Structure 1
């Protein structure tokens, strides 16, 4: 493995490990430590995602305007400071809803600058010794990146499952340390400073507008981003709110352990799917693969809505993770290959804004619906909407016709 790819993957897995811890810790602090109801849990989960609506496009513009490695490293330092602040507060008292919202929003702001800058480093890490790259190398690097992401998240969730034994303070300290190390790995990928270009002298809103125009001109990217907005609202929003509520119902007094088990089952599915794609490749028709993932997601949501046994829910979460990993890898590869180099970070930020910005709204909607109806009813509606989205995107056809190797519809 080339040294630059290894440094990139170590940095990426470090940020993912911290995310895996956060995925368990934040909702469980809200539910089990602070005792918030479902509606307030939706607000806490949304507080991490809502900053994407404001800052993600600026993060993409900044990563195109400055060295993406330096931007990613600074964002890691910001995340470490957020966790250190909550750790310090826990030394004195239990946080309340207002503090958790502030903490979540701070995490969201830093993450909005981290995501496009970090993903921009894929092309830099995919180059061979001669500095050249290819579609197959980019696809393989994206798959390695996804494996680092899911493996890191799995490690974080395993650590979070020790919540009852270790306590929240030790786990927050681990997040601070891991993010500090990840910042060093990402910083090692810096390029030599280049002279200021006319592109860098443009105002941020002009850079963002150019990214939006470039995205709109490519039908496959346009349809992919619309589909990611749907996935964020329906799938991620439901996952963030309904899953911890189901874990509290199924797990009883040890709900945190069962919630961590569900998350680990989801991650196990993502790792299995990513390893399979690493060996077999992503194929020449990634758009059709994304469509099939949408259909499988609809079937899984409907199946969970019927109220499976605790073991059945774990198995269905593993299947859900496999489908989500395949869709994410295919979607990110399409963006990496279709986005022009000078606009790549901005198009990545638009892609992620569609996914995570809509997820914030989806978490709020899932919290409201779950407050007045059973969480399983929320899952049923999500499955029905997914079936309708599958029919609509399949009928449109721009994403379905994407074909790599010279015949792509861009």
Structure 2
């Protein structure tokens, strides 16, 4: 494996490990330590995602105009400062709702700048020794990236499963330290020459150029629309309903961490399989099938499985989510023009995580007045409707890529 790819994967896995910790720590601090109700939990989860609505497109424009490695490294450093700040506050008192909202918003801002810059390093990391790349190399690098992401998240969730024994302070310290190391690896990927020629345009003009490029390509337009739906329905449900279900089962933070770990185990298994077998020539059809499988899984969970059954279903859900994410990211890397890639990645991320913030709020409100299982049932029905509409359109279904080197 080339040294550049190794550094990229180490930096990516480090930031993902911190994310895996955050996925468990933040909602469980809110529910178990602060004692927030479902509606307030929805706000806390949304506070991490809402900054994407404001900053992601600007972050994409910045990563196209500056070196993506430097932007990603600074964003990872900012995340380390956020976790260190909460750790310091914990030394004095228990946080409240207002502080958790501020903490979540700061995490969201830093993450918004990290995501498009970090993902834009895929093409740089996929080059061979002659500085050339191909569609198959890009697809394989995306799969490696997803494996680093899910593997890092799995390790983070394993650490977070010790919440009851170690407490939040030690875990927050681990997050900050790992992010400091990851920022160093990402910074070493910077290039001496600028990533793109300087454009004498205002930020909003650069953003509009990226939106225009994405709109002109039917496959990207349909993919982004589907990602917006997935973010609102699937991620929003996952962020709010899953911790509520874990609390209803009455098994503590370790059971919630087990559900998250089962999800990530499924993602690792699916990504390793794709790394061995490839993504195939028709990634769009694969995304459609993942949407259908997700609908079936949410309907199945809505029937109220046993605690062990819920673990198995979460693992299956993780495998489906990983396959869909890897296929979607590969399509963006292959079809987005190089000079607009970071901006289109930011649009992709905005569609997914910006809508997820709204979905988390909607799931919190719905779960406040209805059972979480009912929320899952409606999400599954809506996913079936979305599958029919996207399959009927056909733009994403017809995407084909070459498999040659």
TM-score (norm 1): 0.97
The corresponding residue for 2:347 is 350
The corresponding residue for 1:17 is 17
- Cα distance in 1 for partners of 2:94, 2:275 equals 44
CA deviations 1:177-220 (Å, max 9, x no partner) are 00000000000000004498342x32111110000000000000
The corresponding residue for 1:62 is 62
Q: Is the 8 A contact 1:126 1:133 kept in 2?
A: yes
The corresponding residue for 1:310 is 307
The corresponding residue for 2:182 is 182
What is the aligned-residue RMSD (CA, Å)? 1.0
- Cα distance in 1 for partners of 2:169, 2:254 equals 17
The corresponding residue for 2:94 is 94
SS at the partner of 1:63?
A: helix
The corresponding residue for 1:170 is 170
Shift of 1:235: 0.1
- Cα distance in 2 for partners of 1:298, 1:164 equals 33
Greater CA deviation, 190-199 or 45-54?
190-199
- Cα distance in 2 for partners of 1:385, 1:48 equals 25
- Cα distance in 1 for partners of 2:384, 2:265 equals 25
The corresponding residue for 2:210 is 211
Correspondence 1:248 to 2:247: yes
CA 1:325–1:44: 2 relative to 1, 3 Å: same
Correspondence 1:393 to 2:373: no
- Cα distance in 2 for partners of 1:197, 1:339 equals 17
Q: What runs of 5+ residues in structure 2 fail to find an aligned partner?
A: none
Shift of 1:405: 2.2
SS at the partner of 1:260?
A: helix
SS at the partner of 1:283?
A: coil
CA 1:288–1:55: 2 relative to 1, 3 Å: same
Q: Is the 8 A contact 2:46 2:357 kept in 1?
A: yes
Q: Is the 8 A contact 2:65 2:195 kept in 1?
A: no
- Cα distance in 2 for partners of 1:99, 1:193 equals 41
Q: Is the 8 A contact 1:249 1:255 kept in 2?
A: no
The corresponding residue for 1:372 is 369
Correspondence 1:106 to 2:106: yes
- Cα distance in 1 for partners of 2:194, 2:326 equals 31
- Cα distance in 2 for partners of 1:72, 1:195 equals 13
Q: What runs of 5+ residues in structure 1 fail to find an aligned partner?
A: none
Shift of 1:382: 0.2
- Cα distance in 2 for partners of 1:143, 1:95 equals 38
1:129-148 → structure 2 map (5 Å cutoff): 129-148=129-148
- Cα distance in 2 for partners of 1:102, 1:393 equals 38
Q: Is the 8 A contact 1:301 1:380 kept in 2?
A: yes
The corresponding residue for 1:332 is 329
- Cα distance in 2 for partners of 1:25, 1:404 equals 40
- Cα distance in 2 for partners of 1:9, 1:242 equals 31
The corresponding residue for 2:254 is 257
TM-score (norm 2): 0.99
- Cα distance in 2 for partners of 1:261, 1:182 equals 25
CA deviations 1:309-363 (Å, max 9, x no partner) are 0010000000000000000000000000000000000000000000000000000
- Cα distance in 2 for partners of 1:405, 1:170 equals 47
The corresponding residue for 2:34 is 34
Shift of 1:97: 0.2
CA deviations 1:235-256 (Å, max 9, x no partner) are 0000000000000111x1x420
CA 1:34–1:282: 2 relative to 1, 3 Å: same
- Cα distance in 2 for partners of 1:167, 1:232 equals 31
Q: Is the 8 A contact 2:8 2:125 kept in 1?
A: yes
- Cα distance in 2 for partners of 1:270, 1:33 equals 29
- Cα distance in 2 for partners of 1:31, 1:195 equals 43
Aligned length: 403
- Cα distance in 2 for partners of 1:231, 1:377 equals 18
Shift of 1:75: 0.1
- Structure 1 residue ranges (4+ consecutive) displaced by more than 6 angstroms after TM superposition: none
CA deviations 1:4-27 (Å, max 9, x no partner) are 000000000000000000000000
SS at the partner of 2:120?
A: helix
The corresponding residue for 1:279 is 276
